[in-house]
Amino acid sequence: MDRGDSRTRFANVVIPHLDDAYSLARWVTGNRADAEDVVQEACLRALRGIGGFSGGNGRAWVLTIVRNAAYDWLRKNRSPAVVHMDDLEAVERMRIADDATSGPDNPEAALIARADEAKLDAAILSLPTVFRETLVLRDVQGLDYREIATITDVPIGTVMSRLARARRKVIEMLGVDK
């Protein structure tokens, strides 16, 4: 593929997903300036790798590159503890109350439904990275389980358990009247 072809494919495949790319980078890095650097790096990689794109799901392809760039960025710029937390450890820290039942009128649901932007943002940002990205890919970006499994490079079962735990944790944080 010559350079002109790469450029035109880049314009077709990558640029339409720039908002999604930025959104994912912002959620993984936790701030806007870093997200912009990550997106720019990811776009460079996408431009170099566009010849290898098989023409399937362009959005998932772009988001996979953004995710990898974001993790590389985290490894370089954050303390290792933040990143190299394996699943087991993360699951340990995500231990949740088993009896999260409430009264018949479900007041917690009403409380969660009223949570404002700042509270939601803070609750999601406080999740460990792998849980946060799974929740964001599903509930903010609207991807299905199979796409999330592809992007985060784990089996669908892992996507399911991360998503369930991420939601439960955010619900715990929001469902407490403070």
Partner 1 sequence: MTTTENDRLLLNAYIDGELDPAHVLEFERRLAEDRALADERGRIEALRGAIQDRLPRATASPALRRRVAALAPPQPFAIKGFTGWASIAASAAIAFAAGSFATFVAIGPGGREPTPELLVASHVRALMASQPVDVASSDRHTVKPWFNGKLPQSPRVVDLAAQGFPLVGGRIDVIGLTPGPTLVYRARLHVISVTSLPKSRRAGAPTRPIDGYNMVEWTDGPLAYWAVSDLAAPELENFAKAFRAADPEP
DSSP H/E element including 169 = helix 156-174
Q: From residue 149, how far is each of 42, 72, 132, 152 by CA, in Å? A: 19, 19, 14, 5
The amino acid at 142: G
Among 68, 71, 139, 154, binds partner 1 (CB under 8 A): 139
DSSP string, 144-161: -HHHHHHHHTS-HHHHHH
Quick one: 23 or 152, whose CB is closer to partner 1? Answer: 23
> In angstroms, what is the minimal distance from the CB of 84 to partner 1?
25
Q: What is the DSSP letter of 164?
A: H
Among 83, 85, 90, 140, binds partner 1 (CB under 8 A): 140
Q: Does 132 bind partner 1 (CB under 8 A)?
A: no
Q: What is the CA radius of gyration of the chain?
A: 18
Q: What residues line the site for partner 1 (CB under 8 A)?
A: 4-16, 18-19, 21-23, 26-27, 35-36, 39-40, 43-44, 47, 53, 55-59, 61, 98-102, 104, 106, 108-110, 112-117, 120-121, 124, 138-142, 144-145, 160-161, 163-164, 167-168, 170-171, 174-175
